[in-house]
Amino acid sequence: MDRRDFLTGALKIAALGACSSFWRLGETFAQGSTATPQSPSPLKMPRTQVGGLDLPMLGYGLMRLPTVGDDKSKIDEQKAQALIDRAMSAGLNHFDTAYPYHEGASERFLGRALKKYPRQSYTISSKLPVRQIQTAKDAERIYLEQFQRIGADYFDYYLLHNLNAERFQTVKKLRLYEFLAAQKKAGKLRHIGFSVHDKPEVTRQIVETYPFDFALTQLNYLDWDLIDAKGHYDVLRSHNIPIWVMEPLRGGLLARLDEPSAAVLKAAEPQRSLASWAFRYLAGLPGIAMILSGMTEMAHLEDNLQTFNGIAPLNDAEKATLAEALRIFRNVPTVPCTACRYCKCVLGIPITDLFELYNQGQVTRDQKRFKRDYESIDAKKRADACVGCGSCLGGCPQKIDIPKELGRVAEAYKAAK
């Protein structure tokens, strides 16, 4: 799933050491667990009833299935089938896929994997890849292909995938929501949703334009402030839109915290996985209809099942413990930019965007992503294009030495592997 587009959003980085707003609304993992695989046990998956949707609290995301070697298009179907069977046995019976997952193999595998189960015993969701659609005929072709891949008569849930401001214009221009609404009326879709990676204001525009049944948004205790996940959450709650969560562990990052941060959590709860803290954080947020987790190994699945069996939101003491771990995790060198955008560069260098990109890379320790996203910027407008004229300095309320900090961003890019 492409994350590049949401980097243009207002990342609230300046307060990296302050976590107060993070806790106002409440307090759930996927990868990186150290849990030992267990034999099937009579665990009970809790279910949610939010906005008329009846779902397991934990849903299975099929973007990171086990593969044969490094070829993402070659799913290890024996291992993946065992995961599906174990999930079904525990009541985890919602499976989320998308047209591009595993280069198209995810949808095909899911159809084969669920063939032995009664259709009423599970629900599935897939997504229309708006970024790949240029015409209405493209949408219809891909939509019909998805039915053929999965072999389903209908989709329980279907989403417009990976929207941002530009792609939302495509949705309106090509009347893609109206197309899906007609399919829903014909009984081919039960519920229509969308996923989004942009500013909260774009999410607001989307939900105020069309009557979506649910929304899928990136939400976890790190991104609450880092990419303003709280802003998206607030918009969806204010419009009574049931919320599906993606990246509850931020691609596994929150299941493999750095040693000092992990030590805080382990000291408080030695038997709990790091991932369980992330899930229990989400379990305390009102309006969450389902949390999607991509589970590559049986150990990931078993740990998730144990976590959700009788899951309880974090109490006040646990919130304080997690806040301390987060404070340590985020205590890395960053540029104290508040994204006010008062600074102006005569060369058109996107100063705020570069600082936001750098800060996110520092916090997440994801050098590959930092390098990839940095290279997506016009080479003539990258940090090393700064000539040090200082024309930007007068506009900065934080009195940041902008040319110096842009130099630090440029050096970080050179050092990125």
Q: Give CATH for domain 4-10+21-314.
A: 3.20.20.100
Say yes or no to pLDDT of 378 above 50. yes
Q: Are 276 and 308 in contact (CB under 8 A)?
A: no
Instruction: Give the model confidence (pLDDT) of 173-204 as tens digits.
Output: 999 999 999 999 999 999 999 999 889 999 99
Residue 279, number of CB atoms within 10 A of its CB: 27
Report domain extents, the chain.
4-10+21-314, 351-415
pLDDT of residue 71: 85
Dmax over CA atoms of the chain, in Å, equals 68
Q: Which two tokens stand for residue 106?
A: 């995810």
Query: Which positions ≥6 away from 359 have C-beta within 8 Å?
Result: 11, 13, 16, 334, 335, 337
Residue 395, number of CB atoms within 10 A of its CB: 14
Q: What is the DSSP letter of 223?
A: H
User: Of 414, 272, 252, 291, nearest to 28 (Cα)?
Assistant: 291
Say yes or no to pLDDT of 157 above 60. yes
pLDDT grade for 399, boundaries at 50, 70 and 90: confident
Q: Which amino acid is at 361?
A: G
User: Of 216, 254, 236, nearest to 364 (Cα)?
Assistant: 254
Q: What is the DSSP letter of 35?
A: P
pLDDT grade for 395, boundaries at 50, 70 and 90: confident
How far is the C-alpha of 90 from the C-alpha of 86, rounded, in Å?
6
Q: How far is CA 309 from CA 46, 91, 139, 221, 322, in A?
A: 7, 11, 40, 21, 21
pTM: 0.75
Mean pLDDT within 305-309: 95
